[in-house]
Amino acid sequence: MGLLNGLMGHASAVPVEKLSKEFQPILLDDEQIEKAFRLIRDMLVFTNKRLIVVNKQGLTGSKIEYQSVPYASIKMFSKESAGMMDFDAELKIWLTGEATPTIKQEFRKGDNVNDAYKVLSKYVLK
């Protein structure tokens, strides 16, 4: 179901343990990954310091952009769902100075959008 969700443009949760080696060179000494979600090759990675948006480019995905978004630059975020069960949900994130959401990510049932929402709440609402 994870591959199917990815092909349909929906985020799938990624176990944090699988990301430790890839992200170790760019994380601060006291920074830990809290949650991560994959969309085909791209990812949203929530740490205790920032949101990292990973954009793999090209046919082979060998060119990778890691965009760091400090939680302090997030001015608003929302979760839109089709009810309590989150069969279809979308996470939207607005950055300071932007009138429209800069980051949009769709989630499917089982890939709990509430986990991403809680991490954002924890660090943005400090």
Instruction: Give tens-digit pLDDT for 20-59.
Output: 888 999 999 999 999 999 877 789 999 999 999 999 887 7
In terms of pLDDT, which residue wins out, 75 or 12?
75
Q: What is the percent of the chain with per-residue pLDDT over 90, rounded to a whole number?
A: 55
The per-residue pLDDT of the chain, averaged, comes to: 85
Buried b (16+ CB within 10 A) or exposed e, 68-102: ebebebbeebebebeeeebeebbbebbeeeeeebb
Confidence class for position 4, pLDDT limits 50, 70, 90? very low
Q: Where are the domains of the chain?
A: 16-125
Give DSSP secondary structure letters for 52-73: EEEEEESSS--EEEEEEEEGGG
Which residue is it, tokens 């990973």? 54
pTM of the model: 0.82
The H or E element spanning position 36 is: strand 33-39
Say what the pLDDT of residue 110 is.
Answer: 61
Residue 107 tokens, joined: 């989630």
In terms of pLDDT, which residue wins out, 6 or 43?
43
The fourth-level CATH superfamily of domain 16-125 is Bacterial Pleckstrin homology domain (2.30.29.50)
Say what the pLDDT of residue 126 is.
Answer: 81
